[in-house]
Chains A and B, each alone.
Chain A
Amino acid sequence: MHPIRKQRLLIVLFVVLFSSAAVGLVVYAMRGNINLFYPPADVAAGKAPFEQPIRVGGMVREGSVQRSDDSLAVRFEITDFQASVPVVYEGILPDLFDEGQGAVASGRLNGDGVLVASEILAKHDENYMPPEVAEALEQSGYDHKGQPK
């Protein structure tokens, strides 16, 4: 074979090999590892799947946070003022997690409609509201700080 053509073949082979490996990996990784955001109203309406990774965000309902006495287990409700989703979590909560503040919980819904969270995200500073949460609140007629409009 002509050396230049052989070289081109080589290049094409490498590219095909690596990119098909990459596409395979991407497809495989995408199957289980992306999660979709649901406002609490959608969860209450049964639109969210059970036992699949999802995120739910809204305000932490006032008076809903209950801590265990002897472990780091905590239970609270996330609300968009239309519906509430109970969340259980065991671990350290972020610095700015508080009642009446915005938060996003990622985890899986169990059969009782409780979100078993593996991670809780709160805002990073006083003025920031997770954008999904702001939008979910907007839809139920509240501004991004959780005040009725």
Chain B
Amino acid sequence: MIPEIGHFALIIALCLALLLTGVPIWGAWRRNVAAMSLAPGLAVGMLVFVTISFACLATAFLQDDFSVKVVASNSNSLLPPIYKFSALWGNHEGSLLLWALILSVWTASVAMLSPQLPLLVLSRVLGVMGAVGVGFLSFSLLTSNPFERLLPGIPADGNDLNPLLQDPGLIIHPPLLYMGYVGFSVAFAFAIAALLGGRLDASWARWSRPWTNVAWAFLSLGIMLGSWWAYYELGWGGWWFWDPVENASFMPWLAGTALLHSLAATEKRGLFKSWTVLLAIFAFSLSLLGTFLVRSGVLTSVHAFATDPARGMFILVFLALVVGGSLTLYALRAPAVSSRVSFDWISRESLLLVNNVAFLVASLTVLFGTLFPLIMDALGAGKYSVGPPYFNAVFVPLMALLIPFMGIGPLSRWKRDSAARWRSELAIPAAAALLCGLTLPLLHAPYNPWVALAVLLGGWLVLGLARDIWWRVRGAASLRQGLRRLTPSYWGMVLAHVGFAACVIGVVATSQYSIEHDLKMGPGDSEALSGYEFRFKEVASVRGPNYVADEARFEVWQDGERVALLAPQKRRYLASGQVMTEAAIDAGLFRDLYVAMGEPIGDRGDWAMRLHYKPMVRWMWLGAIFMAVGGFTTVFDRRYRRQRSGARAATARGAQYAG
């Protein structure tokens, strides 16, 4: 019964989404206040019914209702309850439902948290989000119904969740990632609403900026969690593979980063208006493309369409409608919003432009590398694969090229600045960064020029920011007072830029300094790795809730002291018989020690072992967390809150005259 309620709630949600698309937009067109006022209620209604549907599916998973097909194929009675719950989104149908839920959360949030928005704009924004909702809800209902029953012939037990997904990281990774992906639909909806209204002014940018920042922050966290999960769960110590699924989430992030900065210029200076709209469309289209790539099965093979052509075709058509429709609208409306503002060569605007071009080009090259094998396969030109070397060779230089400009950005001035001022402001940070770059890598022998370059670039960013903060608090009575005077959006920017610097240093240091030994070891053997001695003590059998495992026990010694006990496992899951490697990691700010088991060799109890020493690998995840916290911080800026007071009155006025 419960699955049927869920199914029914999903159908009602689709009907509400259809109404949300039609009525408010019609109302905005005819200036019908009653029709427009329905929008927030419909948005909340959509959230309520999608939530009911989601709760029903969650109940089916938690109660082991194996008559529901997705439960039978993705869960098992032995699975711990928390994984039963997260198994909900460990499959195609359930993850689409999660997509729809998060979209309704964003839509309802826009409806509830935007009292400052004129009703006319709000109804258009919600209408566009409703249209996206229609797309996804009908995709879910028509091609991938999560509530499909297996009747008759209910299996006695489920097939189990893929053991790779039985992990705490995977409980929160997809929701965070989707919060980011889907969050860009808000920026997209604001852009489309602005195009519909024909008014692209600074207020449009101010409204959509906090939403975009939050979506971007979520996406950063989601990507970071995915990378961290791959590191400890896949059992070979890699943290980024340029795998198409990773690229699918990384491309919207790159476009979103460009969008954030372009929105800044649009809000503060009324510049790049059409460009910002285009970026908003682009970022959301890449989110949809990512969903398409991951969900349609096109990645396993272009011919996977043949196994379920309906799904792939549906998303492809939806993608074509969204991209084609919004670009057509853009072509019709954008010339009407061209800007008449000018700026100098040497100014913050130019630097933001560098940022935009760099991130856009980066996302296009990643897009090209991701789609190239698909295009070649579709053309019958052979089965190519584009591997990490391509992406590294293209992406790393682009980012390195960007950082010198990024260091100047925060202390540059709008409209007109002078090279002489930049030189005098940045001479000390430049010298200090150079000093750091030359000396700090000496702490880790042998001296590595790439790490030196990364420290130089990272130092340039951080010291430039330090100089800027100092310059801003200099006039205040006390340091504390001066720091308090800085706005949340400024702090957000500082955090995000420092996080980026930490990421750069972490990525380069861990890539350059990592030591990896794959070798055959028996109990009693030991192996030295960069001053650490790994002593293999014994292998024992252990039993978990739904697996049995061989556990290798290691002691790690350094300078006569025991620094860590590591116990990697080789698990065999009972339901599926699948074998999984569980790495053991001793984490630290400056180094990780990593042990994973390969396979048993010979009959004397020897094992293939993977021992890693990975310096500063945590820095890139910490950096990503800093970036995300920075994104969240900006929302607390007073200028977003101030507009709320007395905005209700303006809402009615806006309905009459705006647009």
- Identify the A interface with B (CB < 8 A): 3-4, 6-7, 10-11, 14-15, 17-19, 21-22, 25-26, 28-30, 32-37, 55, 67, 69-72, 90-93, 95-96, 106, 124-126, 128, 131-132, 134-135
Contacts and interface: CB of A to CB of B under 8 A. Distances in A.
A33 B389 contact: yes
B484 interface: no
Given A15-B357, A26-B394, A67-B601, A7 B343 contact: yes
17 contacts: A7-B343, A14-B350, A18-B361, A19-B357, A22-B361, A22-B394, A29-B390, A29-B394, A33-B386, A34-B385, A34-B386, A35-B384, A35-B387, A69-B602, A92-B610, A125-B576, A126-B576
B134 to A, nearest CB: 32
B588 interface: no
A14 B236 contact: no
Contacts of A34: 372, 384-387, 390
B646 interface: no
Contacts of B115: none
A67 B608 CA distance: 11
Interface string B348-378: 0010011001100110110011001000000
B235 A95 contact: yes
B385 A72 contact: no
A11 B387 contact: no
Contacts of A92: 236, 518, 596, 598-599, 608, 610
Contacts of B361: 18-19, 21-22
Contact of A93 (B357, B358, B364, B599): B599
Contacts of A22: 361-362, 364-365, 394, 398
Contacts of A37: 382-385
B164 A72 contact: no
Interface stretch (B91-99, B297-305, B420-428, B493-501): B297-305
Given A18-B358, A91-B518, A92-B599, 15 more contacts: A10-B353, A11-B353, A28-B393, A29-B389, A29-B391, A33-B389, A33-B393, A34-B386, A67-B601, A92-B608, A93-B599, A93-B608, A124-B162, A131-B304, A134-B301
B519 interface: yes
A3 B342 contact: yes
Report the interface size class on chain B: 35 or more
Nearest to A125: B162
B571 to A, nearest CB: 9
A36 B190 CA distance: 43
Contacts of A17: 357
A131 B576 CA distance: 22
A2 to B, nearest CB: 9
Interface string B553-584: 00000000000000000000000111111000
B167 to A, nearest CB: 14
Nearest to B345: A10
Contact of A72 (B304, B384, B389, B608): B608
Contacts of A91: 518
Nearest to B373: A34
Given A10-B350, A34-B390, A25 B304 contact: no
A25 B162 contact: no
Contacts of A124: 162, 164
B219 to A, nearest CB: 23
Contacts of A3: 342
A99 to B, nearest CB: 13
Nearest to B577: A126
User: B354, B362, B599: which has the most chain A beta carbons within 10 Å?
Assistant: B599
User: A4, A7, A15, A19: which has the most chain B beta carbons within 10 Å?
Assistant: A7
Contacts of A90: 518
B385 A55 contact: yes
Nearest to B275: A11
A125 B610 CA distance: 22
A4 B343 CA distance: 8
B520 interface: yes
Contacts of B364: 22
Contacts of B545: none
A81 to B, nearest CB: 19
User: A3, A29, A93: which has the most chain B beta carbons within 10 Å?
Assistant: A29
Contacts of B608: 72, 92-93
B538 to A, nearest CB: 20
